[in-house]
Copies of this chain bind each other. A is one copy, B any other.
């Protein structure tokens, strides 16, 4: 199944307890695409300014990522994010955001991408998510991401988006904020009632809990003490998960769980180095080997 992602492409500056990276490649659609491309071809839709360093595109070389939906807008500047992680690095502290081109009109979905069957709407304004979705003719499986900002400021718009998708991924704090329910297992059920039959709540180092129809399952993160930079972990998770679902063409609970295992492994690579370096190291062989390790961990007999 053809997989389309729309999301941000940005230039990040990141500080963590282990070091700092300045003016490096980032953005939800970039992490997502690189992770998903390990399992499925990807169609990327996003926009950058004319200040975007051309050499950043090297990260996509050799991966089945179709860049026809990547617009370089003249006279505009690329989205920039400056963040910091402290302590257990479970949450980023935003020091500065320059929306730049992300504050302008959305990029267009190329006509050639209009037949995409699996769609991931990475985090952006919920109205924009629907506008992008409207450009895809007959998607089979649509999943969106969101964030605390939209839950707080555009709740009604977000509810309309949730009613239009098959699934949503969000983190534990966002799930609690959206539902005002402190128990995650109840929060997930409430979100299902808002529309999506598939809800995935990410818990950082604690793994995730997934709701697919009646089914509720939890899986742990891949345990690694080498956390260098958590940026993009959630998008890499979504990429691994959606890439596998697109390759499978099935979206039942068992398929979702197998996909979550791939997402977990993708995220574990992403956090081992700054920017996209961890995901670049994830060759097909390295990915399969870690997936095997993860499965071995989950075998309790």
Contacts and interface: CB of A to CB of B under 8 A. Distances in A.
11 contacts: A87-B182, A88-B182, A185-B224, A189-B225, A206-B207, A207-B207, A209-B223, A216-B223, A216-B225, A219-B298, A295-B301
A88 B182 CA distance: 5
B205 A184 contact: yes
Given A258-B300, A298-B298, A298-B300, A217 B223 contact: yes
Interface residues of A, number: 35
A227 interface: yes
Interface in A182-227: 182-186, 189, 203, 205-207, 209, 216-221, 223-225, 227
Contacts of A227: 183
Interface in A248-301: 257-258, 260-261, 294-295, 297-301
Q: Which of A183, A186, A294 gathers most chain B CB within 10 Å?
A: A183
Given A186-B225, A189-B225, A219-B297, 14 more contacts: A89-B183, A183-B225, A183-B227, A203-B206, A206-B206, A206-B207, A207-B207, A207-B218, A209-B223, A218-B223, A258-B300, A261-B300, A298-B298, A298-B299
Nearest to A208: B220
The 10 closest A-B pairs by CB, nearest first: A206-B206, A218-B220, A261-B300, A185-B225, A298-B298, A88-B182, A87-B182, A217-B297, A218-B223, A216-B223
Contacts of A183: 88-89, 225, 227
